[in-house]
Amino acid sequence: MDFGLYVGTVGTSMWSSEDLGQSWARPIDAGLYLECRVFSLTTQPAYGVSVLAGTDQGVYRWHGAEKRWEHLPSVLDEFPIWSLVQSPHERNVLLAGTRPAALFRSEDAGRSWTRLPVEFPPHCRAVERPRVTQILFDPHDPLAVWAGVEIDGVYRSTDGGRTWAKRIEGLISDDIHGLAVVRDNGRRKLFATTNKGLHLSLDNGESWQFRQLDSEWQYTRAIVERADGQGTIFLSNGNGPPGSTGRLLRSRDYGETWSDARLPGELNSTL
């Protein structure tokens, strides 16, 4: 099986580390253009922890033993793939989100894709064309999936990602950057990050509450629960896009309170 750390970059392709990040390599002549833009990564544990990359040139699968990338030709070759995610419930199901905003579904482990009948606006402010920034499966509920769109709010599926509906009640911004779902003593808590701050939903995304951070900036981007599922969540916070400074916030109580995780060194942008 493949083990390692993988980082996708915007303009210098894919990098990997086999020593927990002490050193990094970018394989040359490995099947992926060296100036490729890589927007999203996912793994396929049922297939030996294969790594799939969503790029500006389609979907690629990493073959670790051979140190090469395999292009999986599909309709997604026509779009920058901003979000790519493996279903934790069905080994052959993946979802992908693109720019311009569209949602696609694969039921054969990424070999072919079908565009889903979801209507997104063709244009928006600031970033010109909306993009699907994150697709999130609930690891405990095979029917619950959410998608964040920059800039067009949150979309929810209640049938495993086949059909979708927009859910924005209570959001103070429809500029969605990231999503996270956690279980707090059995209660589902859904988080969304935006350019104007963090939001929480306690009713599966039906409605949202703004959560003021104890920070001089409310701008937030990535949010993720630690892999042990014990209530520790990390949230990136900064003074704008890309900003000139920022910090990593950490909650140890399922997102109720936050404190600075105190990364070493000075940050020169929002994380």
Tell me if 32 is assigned to some domain: no
Tell me if 69 is assigned to some domain: no
| CA-based nearest residue to 145, from 71, 195, 205 | 205
- Phi, psi of 87, rounded to the nearest 5 degrees: -65, 135
Domain residues for the domain of 118 are 74-179+203-212
- For residues 187-197, average pLDDT: 97
Tell me if 218 is assigned to some domain: no
Specify the pLDDT at position 270: 93
Q: Confidence band (pLDDT; 50, 70, 90) for 27?
A: confident
Q: Confidence band (pLDDT; 50, 70, 90) for 66?
A: confident
Q: Confidence band (pLDDT; 50, 70, 90) for 1?
A: very low
- For residues 114-139, average pLDDT: 96
Residue 37 has pLDDT above 60, yes or no: yes
Tell me if 112 is assigned to some domain: yes
DSSP 8-state code for residue 177 = E
Q: What is the CATH number of the domain that holds 96?
A: 2.130.10.10
Please state the domain count of the chain: 1
DSSP 8-state code for residue 194 = E
247-269 burial code (b ≥16 CB/10 A, e <16): bbbbbeebbeebeeeeeeeeeee
Tell me if 221 is assigned to some domain: no
Tell me if 48 is assigned to some domain: no
Q: Confidence band (pLDDT; 50, 70, 90) for 50?
A: confident
Distance CA(261)–CA(50), nearest Å, equals: 31
Q: What pLDDT digit, counting tens, does each position of 135-155 carry?
A: 999 999 999 999 999 999 999
Distance CA(53)–CA(121), nearest Å, equals: 26
Tell me if 175 is assigned to some domain: yes
Tell me if 10 is assigned to some domain: no
Specify the pLDDT at position 10: 93
Are 193 and 211 in contact by the 8 Å Cβ rule? The answer is no
β-pair partners for 95? 85, 105
Supply angle C-alpha 191, 81, 69, rounded to 5.
120
